[in-house]
Amino acid sequence: MLEVGIWSFHRFELKPAYVNLLAMSCGPRQDRGCLAQIQEIEETTRVSNEKAGTLTTAEPTIEKETRSEEEFDLPWQVVVHNDPVNLMSYVTMVFQRVFGYPREKAERHMLEVHHNGRSILWSGLREPAELYVQQLHGYLLLATLEKRG
């Protein structure tokens, strides 16, 4: 379990650095999560303050909450919507490439899109979900990022 300040989150930043669609990969991006980055910054600041002798004993009170990283940012879904123009075989290929799904699983999702109008392809942290949506748009599929619930 990670102990984190609740003020640290819910800030969505789309950085140009991860918008490079020309290098499409088959798997999820392996970036560090925002929690790890925040913890690193907090640790750097603490060490820096200690060295400079500026760490005060009376620290400001911050509301804290105990949550796991997954628990915090889990409910984001990558949804693909039906589109009468895109070929079924093309959609299957895209699912295989973007998510690395085996053919059977990719076909199952494709058929779900075809019959039900939409299919949830992936769910998890927001940042990789955004990247998946970008990749799917690069393949011209109708994909959206939705919060579960």
Partner 1 sequence: MDICRRKGAIEISELDPFLAELLRQIPACTNSDGVPAAEQRLFSSPTTGRETESCVEWKTYVEPELRRLFQTATQTVAADLEQLNGNEESLANRTLRIPAKHADAWLSALNQARLVIAAKNNFTESELNDHFRSPIGSRRDLSLFQVNFYGFLQEFILRELES
Which residues would be at the binding site for partner 1 (CB under 8 A)? 12-16, 19-22, 84-87, 89-90, 93, 130, 133-134, 137-140, 142-146
CB of 100 vs partner 1, minimal distance in Å:
16
Q: Is 131 helix (H, G, I), strand (E, B) or coil?
A: helix
**Least Cβ distance, residue 63 to partner 1 (angstroms):** 24
Our CB check for partner 1 shows the closer of 39 and 96 to be: 96
Nearer to partner 1, 19 or 26 (CB): 19
- At 127, list the tokens: 């940042």
Nearest to 79 by CA among 30, 130, 10, 14: 130
8 Å CB contact between 125 and 71: no
Q: Judged by CB, which is closer to partner 1: 1, or 12?
A: 12
Minimum Å distance from CB 76 to partner 1? Answer: 11
Residue with tokens 């650095």, as numbered in its chain: 17
Angstrom distance (rounded) from CA 69 to CA 33 = 8
